[in-house]
Amino acid sequence: MTPTTKQLAFLRTLAHDKKPIVLLGHKGVTEAVIKETAAGLLAHELIKVRLHGDDKDAIHADADAIAKGAGAVLVDVVGKVAILYKRHPDEPKIVLPKDKPAKRA
């Protein structure tokens, strides 16, 4: 699933007041981090992950790796915090806005 720009903006708005529930340590992306992220996504659908380091490219690479490992969508990276979304397979809590169909002339 690839969310639209409108849906990503909606998810960023929902994530604004959330606190990070997964912290990436100096060991980097490990199986334990991916497992914890997947569990957090299953429970909440939308989570924040605090990343480690000062290199912007490395932070984005870690965020991408965690998202891929957990099967999630990387919504955004703000500073050292990544926002991830994965729809619950059985009982989704978040309803994404639908795009309006294009108007015909």
Q: What is the predicted pLDDT for the residue at 2?
A: 84
Predicted confidence (pLDDT) per residue in 10-44, tens digit: 999 999 999 999 999 888 899 999 999 999 999 99
pTM: 0.89
pLDDT over 80 at 101, yes or no: no
Predicted confidence (pLDDT) per residue in 53-97, tens digit: 889 999 999 999 999 999 999 999 999 999 999 999 999 999 998
Q: What is the predicted pLDDT for the residue at 83?
A: 97
Instruction: Indicate the burial class of 65 (C-beta count within 10 angstroms; 0-12, 13-18, 19 or more).
Output: middle
Domains of the chain and any CATH numbers:
5-85 (3.30.110.60)
